[in-house]
Amino acid sequence: MKTITINPVTRVEGHAKITIKLNDEGLVEKASLHVLQFRGFEKFCQGRPYTEMPGLTARTCGICPVSHLISSSKAADNLLAVSIPRTGANLRRIVNLAQIAQSHALNFFYLSAPDLLLGFDSDPSKRNVFGALESHSEIVKAGIGIRSFGQRIIERIGGGKRIHPIAIVPGGMRKPLDPQVRADILAELPIHLKAAVKTLGWFKKSLSQYREEARVFANYPTLFLGLVGENGEIEHYDGKVRVIDHTGKIVADKLEPSDYQQYIGESVEEDSYLKSPYYKPLGYPKGAYRVGPLARLNIADKLGTPIAEEEFAEFKQIERGPVLSSFYYHYARLIEIIYAFEKIDELLNDEDILSPHIRARAEPSRYEGVGMSEAPRGTLLHHYKIDKNGLIEWVNMIIASGHNNLAMNHGVEQAAKRFVDGNHITEGALNRVEAVIRAFDPCLSCSTHALGKMPLRIELYDHGGVLIDEKSR
């Protein structure tokens, strides 16, 4: 049996490889995604004060630190047993939405658009953001502007830093919103909202070019999971968990995030450090589900902002039930950028947003706390246990990219079987297999985990780069 290895998987956050196994006829029998890095935050946070957890866990990653700040602070709120003031919660919402907009722009315009603008079979030396900028400068510059705007919102409300902001803390926010910051953001916002709408218009017109990719990019029946609001509306900061099946039937609704261990199980595969969570009532691996922008649009009844709501209605016309192809993560991502900007505008125009009442102060009242929010890539959960001195005894984090692990593996195999011919291997075919992973936009640094015996492989090379020995367990 012959094996093709794609190592590293490019234009994703983190380190991973894909192996494709071919039979004697050159047909793909199996393909798998392997995540090669390991972080171990759940272990080395033990013994630290719970107040340090937002800052510590945000260092898991430089791409989505805001998301960890939000979930970690919510877990700490839970330890304090406080309800944070409305203005404090809304300032957190704005920062979280800015994070979603800038992170979606990073994936779409920098990492995935080169395939869409230049073609999956284009010259790989040009198939990058610089090549795309050269040939489609208006679209790419719009994306750079959207990302920069999102980062500046984080910087100005989040405490002076675009990456690892410091203003989100247990109990609320460190400081109230400056009126001039509000005015500046509101003045610039229409420019980037218009750019996002224009980009979505271009993407919808180009969809007919990608029918084959849409047909096999993890296009299969799974569950979808995420947070929704009280009335079934999309929700990124708070809310309860909803699970639907591939027909759109609600399997479970209004599940409490703090009860997650009753409905989410965690498994691991021997060849990857990425967790494989699953919906417990259906078992492993039958309980595979997807999270993130595609899942959020599939489970929500409405979005609730004018332009995004119109686009949401059109998106729902793709299929009678939930949209199953993971290629449409790109479509959902662009709608969420529009939603994020419209929602930020709505929140900033609430006069209460300038209130100085933004933080609740208390000592820990519980020994255990859970925080859940929606990160750009999907549902993010932090769960802490502390001792009587407020020191961390135990940590569990379920990261958005991990939820999608089973679906990503199914997707790379589905795409490999469609595009890879073992007797005539082309670069474009292998690029399409990688592009399945890009559609999910995984943040692999955050999501690694191991249970039980940790797989380990050591390779020893000489000075010429020749492999001379290897050990594994």
pLDDT in tens, 305-348: 999 999 999 999 999 999 999 999 999 999 999 999 999 999 99
The DSSP code for 318 is S
Please name which of 68, 276, 46, 51 lies closest in space to residue 158, comparing C-alpha atoms: 68
How far is it, in rounded angstroms, from Cα 287 to Cα 408?
14
User: How distant is the alpha carbon of residue 292 from its chain centre?
Assistant: 6
Q: What is the pLDDT of residue 159?
A: 85
Q: What are phi and psi for residue 397, nearest 5 degrees?
A: -125, 130
How confident is the model over 32-45, as pLDDT tens digits? 988 877 778 888 89
Cβ-proximal residues to 246 (8 Å cutoff; 6+ apart), any chain: 221, 222, 223, 321, 322, 324
Place 454 in a pLDDT band, splitting at 50, 70 and 90: low
Question: What is the share, in percent, of the chain residues with pLDDT greater than 70?
Answer: 97
What 3-state class would DSSP assign to 52?
A: helix
pTM, 2 dp: 0.93
Q: What is the pLDDT of residue 450?
A: 55
**Residue scoring higher pLDDT (6 or 160):** 6
Q: What is the pLDDT of residue 455?
A: 54
How far is it, in rounded angstroms, from Cα 187 to Cα 184?
5
How far is it, in rounded angstroms, from Cα 184 to Cα 115?
35
8 Å CB contact between 277 and 403: yes
Q: What are phi and psi for residue 315, nearest 5 degrees?
A: -60, -40
Q: What is the pLDDT of residue 473?
A: 56
How confident is the model over 274-317, as pLDDT tens digits? 888 999 999 999 999 999 999 999 999 999 999 999 999 999 99
Sign, Cα dihedral of 210, 4, 404, 392: negative
8 Å CB contact between 94 and 185: no
Place 259 in a pLDDT band, splitting at 50, 70 and 90: very high
The token pair that represents 118 in the structure block: 């230049």
The token pair that represents 390 in the structure block: 């407020």
The DSSP code for 356 is S
Please name which of 195, 117, 63 lies closest in space to residue 435, comparing C-alpha atoms: 117
**Residue scoring higher pLDDT (71 or 36):** 71
Place 445 in a pLDDT band, splitting at 50, 70 and 90: confident
Burial 242-258 (b: 16+ CB within 10 A, else e): bbbbeeeeebeeebebb
How far is it, in rounded angstroms, from Cα 95 to Cα 66?
7
Residue 49: CB atoms within 10 A of its CB come to: 12
Compute the C-alpha angle 177/182/185, nearest 5°.
135
How far is it, in rounded angstroms, from Cα 416 to Cα 76?
44
Please name which of 343, 421, 374 lies closest in space to residue 90, comparing C-alpha atoms: 343
Helix 65-80 with 86-105: angle, nearest 10 deg: 160
